[in-house]
Amino acid sequence: MLRMLVITAHPDDEAGNFGGSLCLYHDRGVETCVLCLTPGQAATHRGGARSDQELALIRRQEFAASCEILKVSRGVVLDYPDGHLHRQDLYRVVCALVLHIRQFRPDVMLTFGPDGGVTAHTDHAMASVFTNLAFHWAGHSNRFTEQLHGQITPHRTQKLYHATANFNLPGRQPVTASPPTTVIEIGEYLETKIAAFRAHKSQSPLWPIFEDHVRKREKKELFHLEASLNSVPMNRETDLFQGVSGA
Ligand SMILES: [Zn+2]
């Protein structure tokens, strides 16, 4: 069975940025996993939570509900501090991600670009930095050698993609995005993506803006192929698993 790992920063990123592709590839028989680095406790919209801890708890439940709608096989929320990923110890975060990669053993990985995605959020940019290093180092037998025993062996994921976009959001910092190499037609999965975003009830003030925005942008998700085991001449792709052995 082919596997796809998506690494995000906040609960709702999985729906907003990757939701269509998560559904599409699940229905094509791919086992999907989402690893979310923070429980989103620093969000502007607090859903009535009285503390960061309470909001984190609410958002973990909302993430689980969203993953169920998107038919994610495995959804995990880690416990790094929302809004402060740039202040975390890079080596330790990458170590944790490498272990997840060596355990789940994906064929394809998706994350944000270092631009931070359309919102230019620093946590998104850091998710990208951590994931890029983890993607490469998970395959090296001389990295995090203390992990390497029993079933845990080095793992080379075949492809790494960054989510990208061909527009800037008004009112946000300007983004210099990676050029799209891969266009995924999500079709009617757009509705599932919107439903999953709406599972994040604490973020309900964002729903109309999100929905309006995605409905205007056609039924597509755009990605940039950042690294690939097979360095083939680039043609515009329409499938994240194109050229993946076993696909
Ligand atoms: Zn986010």
Q: What is the pLDDT of residue 233?
A: 66
How close is the Cα of 14 to the center of ligand 1, in Å? Answer: 9
User: From ligand 1's centre to the CA of 235, what distance in Å?
Assistant: 30
**Cα of 221 from ligand 1 centre, angstroms:** 16
Give me 49's structure tokens.
Answer: 């939570």
Crossing angle between the packed helical segments 189-198 and 13-27, to the nearest 10 degrees: 140
What's the confidence (pLDDT) of residue 67?
A: 98
Instruction: Measure 118 CA to ligand 1 centroid, in angstroms.
Output: 10
Residues 31 and 190: their CA atoms lie apart, in Å, by 20
| Phi and psi at residue 221, to the nearest 5° | -120, 135
The phi, psi pair for 34, rounded to 5°, reads -115, 130
* 17 CA distance to ligand 1 middle (Å): 9
What is the reported pLDDT for 78? 98
pLDDT in the model for residue 168: 79
Expressed in angstroms and rounded, the spacing between residue 157 Cα and the centre of ligand 1 is 24
Q: So what's the pLDDT on residue 27? A: 98
Residues with CB under 5 A from ligand 1 (ion): 9-10, 13
What pLDDT is attached to residue 235? 78
Task: Decide: 222 and 34 in contact? Cβ < 8 Å.
Answer: no
**How close is the Cα of 103 to the center of ligand 1, in Å?**
25
Distance 124 CA to ligand 1 centre (A): 6
Domains parsed from the chain with CATH numbers: 3-228 (3.40.50.10320)
Residue 158 CA to ligand 1 centre (angstroms) = 25
Cβ within 8 Å of residue 219, ≥6 positions away: 20, 185, 186, 187, 188, 189, 190
Cα 210 to averaged position of ligand 1 atoms, centre (Å) = 13
The Å distance, Cα 42 to ligand 1 centre, comes to 11
pLDDT given for residue 230 in this prediction: 87
- Interval between CA 72 and ligand 1 midpoint (Å): 18
Report the separation in Å between the CA atom of 145 and the middle of ligand 1, taken as the mean of its atom positions: 32
| Cα 122 to averaged position of ligand 1 atoms, centre (Å) | 9
pLDDT, position 124: 98
Q: How many helices (H) and strands (E) are present in the chain, helices listed first? A: 6, 7
Residue 233 CA, ligand 1 centroid: distance in Å: 32
Question: Do residues 5 and 109 lie in contact, with contact meaning Cβ atoms separated by under 8 Å?
Answer: yes
What span, in angstroms and rounded, lies between the C-alpha atoms of 18 and 12?
10
Q: Which stretches of the chain score pLDDT less than 50?
A: none
Give the total residue count for the chain: 247
